């Protein structure tokens, strides 16, 4: 059974392999990371770990039994007790409920380990799997948006009290 782990330095090789193997799959529903992301991966990974150490973001990987990374679930830009949720699951691991389970785990960590009061998430309309994950895990649609030129929906999840929307 895959385990959710807080991102560490030693995850770098497996995380890069995950991103490279799934680049085309992810680009079908989210903006492509671009060539610079892969070229400068080591420096980027170190920068993410520094942000995590500062409590600005919390990066998680979903690690399979053999150490292979099957997904990512991140809480980014923590401000005033609220963070943005982002996640991606490997193409070969999709459709098995891993995203729903991992998002639920991160939501629990958001409250119990990180002291957050709410989360935001966004997805494009042409990504029904992501809409399903968000609604299954308690997120509520709060408005239409445009992501990378494509129509989408913004969601929120509140853990205690009303979630303050950014102006």
Domain boundaries, the chain: 3-158
pTM value? Answer: 0.90
Give the pLDDT score at 55.
Answer: 94
Separation of alpha carbons 5 and 72, rounded Å = 9
Separation of alpha carbons 101 and 153, rounded Å = 21
Q: With helix as H, strand as E and coil as C, how does 114-130 read?
A: CCCCEEEEEEECCCHHH
Give the pLDDT score at 149.
Answer: 87
Per-residue pLDDT of the chain (167 residues; tens, 9 = 90+): 899 999 999 999 999 999 999 999 888 777 778 888 899 999 999 999 999 999 999 999 999 999 999 999 999 999 999 999 999 999 999 888 999 999 999 999 999 999 999 999 999 998 899 999 999 999 999 999 998 888 999 999 999 754 444 33
User: Given its phi and psi angles, is residue 115 left (phi above 0), alpha (psi -120 to 50 degrees) or beta?
Assistant: left
Pairing of strands 82-89, 118-124: parallel
Give the pLDDT score at 148.
Answer: 81
CATH number attached to the domain at 3-158:
3.40.630.30
Give the pLDDT score at 27.
Answer: 82
Give the pLDDT score at 164.
Answer: 43
Separation of alpha carbons 70 and 25, rounded Å = 13
Per-residue DSSP letters for 111-167? HHTT---EEEEEEETT-HHHHHHHHHTT-EEEEEEEETTEEEEEEEEESSSPPPPP-
Give the pLDDT score at 153.
Answer: 97
What is the H or E stretch that residue 12 is in? helix 12-21
Torsion of Cα atoms, 66 then 92 then 133 then 12, to 10°: 50
First-to-last C-alpha distance (Å) of the chain: 41
Give the pLDDT score at 163.
Answer: 47
**Cβ atoms within 10 A of the Cβ of 22, count?**
21
């Amino acid at each position: 059974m895959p385990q959710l782990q807080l991102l560490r330095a030693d995850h770098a090789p497996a995380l890069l392999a995950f991103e490279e193997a799934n680049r085309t799959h992810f680009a079908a529903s989210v903006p492509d990371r671009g060539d610079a992301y892969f070229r400068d991966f080591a420096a980027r990974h170190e920068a993410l770990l520094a942000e995590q150490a500062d409590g600005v973001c919390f990066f998680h990987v979903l690690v399979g039994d053999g150490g292979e990374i099957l997904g990512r679930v991140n809480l980014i830009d923590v401000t005033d007790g609220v963070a943005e949720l982002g996640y991606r699951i490997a193409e070969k691991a999709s459709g098995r409920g891993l995203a729903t389970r991992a998002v639920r785990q991160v939501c629990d960590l958001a409250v119990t380990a990180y002291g957050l009061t709410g989360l935001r998430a966004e997805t494009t309309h042409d990504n029904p799997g992501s809409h399903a994950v968000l609604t299954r895990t308690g997120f509520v649609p709060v408005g239409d948006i445009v992501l990378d030129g494509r129509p989408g929906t913004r969601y929120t999840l509140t853990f205690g009290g009303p979630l303050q929307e950014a102006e």
